[in-house]
Amino acid sequence: MARKNMGIRKGPGEIAFEIVNYTILAVVAVSMLYPFIYVLAISLNDANDSQLGGIWLYPRVLSFESYKIIFSDPSLLQALGISVARTVIGTVLTVIGCSMFAYVFTRNEFVLYKPLKGFFFFCMFFGGGGLIPTYMLYLDLGLYNSFWVYVIPTIINLWYVTLFRTYFRSIPGELLEAARIDGAGEFQVYLRVLMPVSKPIIATITLFSAVAQWNSYRDTLYYTTDKNLRSLQYIVMEIIKKAEGSHMIDRKEMMEMFHGDASTADPVSLRMAITICTVLPIIMVYPFLQKHFMKGMMVGSMKG
């Protein structure tokens, strides 16, 4: 007589633990998700109706006027283009630069391995410099007031190099040696063998670098004066700082900022709409990298 498969029965303690655990996770999830829902609801609500308050989960009177004003402003579209360009170009160059630099540190027989390793760890703990030396360096290199000030200084990130190096060392050496025996050079080994099997760590560094580039505004503040080089995040920070200083950006300031188009929009709705525009791209990118992200972080941090 075949025995019926019976599931393992959970005791009262395990059931209580799961209830408490899921409750805490649900509270944390709601606390993280609700602010985004609230901001989205305000941004999509009619300007005049928003002033009445009482909007919590969804727009009471649906309106896209705030987004129309934002996307009709040439300076804001210019800032959006700068943010997209620096994120795409900067992320690609960071992944390439950090992965190539990390590959050098997996080759113990490299003639400059020990000097570079010492220089690497010295810079990791004592590098960075201060604001004034960095400003003077960028000025001498011709990076000041240039788009490339957003990209070139971020090509090598020592933390990303460490993650790449640790992951590369977890790959079986026999795979690389087989490629060398077949006549592949070091660059071919890196490009055709190492990188295709390193998708998890590449996805991890891509996400880290893209988020850092997209959210950055200090480099715009410190190293540029050209209004055509302003990033979207810098404009958002300007709006937030003005709001903090006066508790509310009045309609006159908004009209000046958006060339008179803000007469039909509430300042709060405009701020919320700009916030959504800055957050949404990262939210859209993350799901495509999520399946590799955790694996890359675990392997890149623990193996070596």
pLDDT, position 259 = 52
pLDDT, position 247 = 45
pLDDT, position 99 = 92
**Sequential DSSP letters for the chain:** -PPPP-PPPPPHHHHHHHHHHHHHHHHHHHHHHHHHHHHHHHHTB-HHHHTT---SSS-SSB--HHHHHHHT-HHHHHHHHHHHHHHHHHHHHHHHHHHHHHHHTT-TT-TTHHHHHHHHHHHHHH----HHHHHHHHHHHT-TTSGGGTTGGGS--HHHHHHHHHHHHHS-HHHHHHHHHTT--HHHIIIIIIGGG-HHHHHHHHHHHHHHHHH--HHHHHH---GGG--HHHHHHHHHHHHHHHSS--HHHHHHHTTTGGGGS-HHHHHHHHHHHHHHHHHHHHHHHHHHHHHHHHHHHH--
Residuewise pLDDT in 10s, the chain (304 residues): 444 455 567 777 788 888 888 899 999 988 888 888 888 888 888 777 777 777 788 788 888 877 877 777 777 788 888 999 999 999 999 999 999 988 888 877 777 777 777 777 777 777 666 788 888 888 898 889 999 999 999 898 888 888 888 888 888 878 888 888 888 888 888 888 888 888 888 988 888 898 889 888 888 989 998 888 888 888 877 776 665 554 445 555 555 555 555 545 556 777 788 788 788 877 777 776 666 655 555 554 554 4
pLDDT, position 166 = 86
Superfamily of domain 66-304: MetI-like (1.10.3720.10)
pLDDT, position 93 = 95
pLDDT, one tens digit per residue, over 192-244 is: 888 888 888 898 888 889 888 988 888 898 999 888 888 888 887 777 666 55
pTM: 0.75
pLDDT, position 304 = 44
